[in-house]
Structure 1
């Protein structure tokens, strides 16, 4: 039936062009239905039949022939159109005869048969109808998706049983390397979710099945037709695996191969049939380990050359390397011209920039390399001299962007930053210079005339480029620190508890999702709202230390009953207050006293950023900020001020411990101090009292 194959190939080509082929549609974990199957034989349709029936747009996965429906007293409705499926017969049933050619009968006098292997399969076709087209059938009840822990455990089991090493040594790439027979992935915490990790790992395992020791598929040079064919097989197999395992599926990496797929299918209508067959075999190899020897024996060996490579994925769930913007010097009277050319305005930098992916040649007249005419001493040079006069040490030109910048001063030791400056270019250039060693702040105003529009635009663009480059360097350093943090965290020997952590023993609290290093120092993971590990805090008896060049802002540690330490662990708790405190000991005290989830933001300066991250994740959950009472701080009660700011930013409430004069004299400041001073119950009453008071003002906070 050549028309049958033509019809399927044409339909799938159209679906690929429209982006609606089954393996091009994403879904979340546990939301995809059961694959097409025959309820009479209880067998799943495989290969091209799986894809073809999946394209019919039916919600019910049950398919059967007219005769099969009639056999269970069901009736195909008049006028319903069937779908054609193809199946192959590789064996034939032959009647047994004796030496004289007479039939061989069994004990009941019936003809005996035996099966023979055919050199070429016989192809048969059948017309099947969906259960939605048949009267007399009970409604289909889909089996419940397995719980997330079971899905993840199965994925781990399949990866482990594959025998393919999985190395977590990449930043934002995931690939299978055929030469070493290894899967290379970023660390697990680089992915947006565990589901994204397993989807990617299983996709690469699909490629690994093509190794010459397994299913012996051909891999070609990157960008070639063979390369695209392999990716088509892996994508279809990933779709089938994700559907059958109930994990999420994100085909966002297929776009680069669409044109190659279309060409291959248009040149050879049978390619989709071969791809579906191979994808089915890949899925079977991955999910049914007991069948691997059989599948590997039947695979046809193919030559492997040094040019053959495996398609690589740049996983969108992972953090991408930062790309600094290119700023240009556009005078005010030329802004419309620059805008028409495609330039964009950066409000923060107060400068125009070239959008990513745009040809910079169109903006060459405003490139910062071509400096506008400047006076004998530019405002930047004049400001630099003033900074030097006041003892500040600034590498390169000072950044005059209306923001404070820290720098060392003469007499500073390594890493000390005892100087600070801020510069403005609006109107007549000016600024402020602070040397904390000398004391006091000096106001500076440029001696020259006001800048022209061209001069100001040039300086602003240069400053924006410098700031963008510095930000890119900062982000790159933070990424490196995150990788270091992950390595340290993964290799720590065990969980922290009062027996192995002097800090926990001294504070009288337990370990909740924290670890201990070989020196007995407690290690706290610092994760963001997506659960990615960015940093670790090492708590010693004397200090609380973060990794160098690491990210702290907006990271936190969640203390909750599962011990996962992430915001996702709070998702099952659809109601109830979320408490945010500063340090771990305070958070642990509140958690142990109240049983409510508590988030440690590490210090007061991070409370607002953490509260905003929590509010984004949980827009409807009440938030209570448990601040410190820094009553003895000469710079003001920073703990309570920052807690109030954080609470106000997210529409939450704030509570801080109250102390007696005697306790204040002992310099007690936080809820852990309150607990140690007065014993059990005081912290719980303080927190619950704050919640009750808040309930009276705004119902539902607890």
Structure 2
């Protein structure tokens, strides 16, 4: 301790000792709520309170006004310390300092306002500094002290909140004592009614709570001292100073009368060690920080619980798909809470209390969907997971929800009536409902929503009612629904009589008879019948893929094979195969006899009639040939042929560890396809250095790698395109239509488990035929990827030319088909738009964006979804953007978006506008239209900006073009590309236009880059607001209009001048 510090410590200690003797030390002074002196010393310039020993030292100066500041701080606010006034020293530790950032040339970096950019640097070794401050009573030019703002809560309410936030065990009933007992970690107080006032009760309780913080599980102070000892007095000093600080914070007053007995001990402790008062003051601040920290945590948990309860309440009646969408699109802060399992468990009680009265099963199901969604999103790359979840749970249109409710109500009403009544009710249903019930495709689309609405009812009764409805209306999916019903229920769950026979009743009797009649108790035959029924259902399902059909066919074959064997047959077969494998004495019929032929003897073996097996790379005796001439080439034991029992991996009862090995089905998996095989259940055998089918493997998907399916022999060559198609199927892609397109370009493809689409999907591939055909495949739904190379088949120039010609033809055909689909969708959307409601008030999305209802935008009868029609430059509508209330967006299926836009205000208003101002999203365009006072254009996304700008520039060549782009700085920082800026510049270049990007207030983008990208964000989220938008955009548009006008006038003058010259020359 240096001399300056020692003198400060001694000075402070001496002064406080003298005040203790007189009974006027800061924590010895009683005060009531509302008194002028009832406040801690503060710095009005920084707004901070002085803490620790500085607070005690300044309070000991006997000033009424508790405002303190340095000489320079007084000058900075136009005040002046009076001449001759003496300052009061304080000390503080400096743990960090601000440093100015510099560039490579060591020059200061400046921000947008021309100020130096600074960063806070933490010091390796904190430094102790002294400062001199003056009281407001010593300064001229200061305004009068402003009384504390009246609190929006009572002091007692906040004090009670702190007591509850701590969770401390407080026991009432002591006659006239208040104390904390460390041994039981309990606070003991008299009954509340024994106190003069609520403030006095809470002041006492908070004093004991100060002792409570010293428990080893909290701040861990030395509490175990007998009453009257110096150690006990030191703890009381800390609690008393903390009571003063907390009492000031809460405004409940301070009463030190109960602790006068400790004054002598306090004086002695400070005399013996002047730093004791410094430590006590520091500990008192820690007590206050700890207690208020618990209060803050309680408030934060309350806010978090409210957010979670609001989110669950909003989603508890929605289908799972909508819950998934809302969860993925939730704000980051809420999503982090929902994803934190420990935090959600801690908030359980609060959330349940807030959701009291809401159906418990709905709450639990909604929570399960949320937890599952966020658990999957954490499993792998968040973007892939989000896309996978969105594909698994597509957004549900409002029309689907309404139709599903109508169907669910009808099914529920008919579940308990006889089959003939169900049939009659079905025939008498209203036309709207009948149209839905009669459409197999529509009912399949509504299945998920209907199941969700009927989740509390008996599934078997639901299935039976569905079957009767389908049969009554002659729907084509009756067979599929019967199979699905049986799959869910299983044959074991069908009702039986006392003799074990299956009960057959109602409209489903024939279906059940077709399965049960031939069984006679044979479970294998039942399984075979069920497999055949499932295969038929899959084959007749228009949504089934080739992979689905093949898997159903293989399952049926396996079931039929099992049905042909009794247990004795199976044992006998296994025994025979085991004998062939172990003894090797005889070659089963149909299995070739392989020979051991040296290279120099190959001609001799060939002359004797031996054949070459390219797959096995060995010579063999052909079937029916006499083996005698080949004795000299005979092997010690026969080699199993491909496709024999070893290749097929029949499990053999060899016992022990060998039994597991003997039952393995080994696979021929190329290195580039290992991930796809692993995803289908293949495992790697380190010893054999080969892949094999694991216990939970999907043999339908692994079949292409079974040894007998791998083509090594010189069979008719598979084209690279066919090879690539097989590879696509191996990773779960649904190959159909023109896929795969081997043009070296990127293509999307549907994958198993999602709705099929020719031009979209969660799969991605690139395949080319140049040189050695190769490609890359990725299933974004499962994360499986594959680097593919052709197995060696090469193309001669004629074949390559033919394939290219075929690809070009398919491309042309695909374009024609796409044009036809676009036209059909446009007609459908025209009819849909005619049924929608023009906006008269903002939808939830528009309210969130700070926008009013504008002409040209529609909604449905619920008023929640925003429908934004998109037209071409001639005004024909080609697509519609649907915006849900949570802001999620999508376009009409099979619709044309490229080159289409929405004119905010209408196409006629756009024709009258002085300039073509084109933005990405509708909200941005609408904000610009409101600021500029004329029509603007929404191109919907950055990729569509060039096409829209080009089309409108051709339509209105007399108008200047201004591209109001998004500034995607968050993508630039994370992915190295700014698509908003890049595409805006491209669009401007194509149309000789201008680009304007939003500029936000300093620090806003750094705080949250995703929230500050476009001009709507500037108007609604930035401190600059709508005025800032106007200041940034209006001058650019005005300049573009003026420049275009000047250019047009100059061109007109040049044209008139040119025509005048030609006219003069003609006259001459």
Q: Normalised by the shorter chain, which TM-score bucket?
A: 0.3 to 0.5
Higher relative contact order (CA 8 A, sep 6+): 1
Tell which structure's C-alpha radius of gyration is larger: 2
**Structure having the larger proportion of residues in strand:** 1
TM-score by length of 2: 0.28
TM-score by length of 1: 0.42
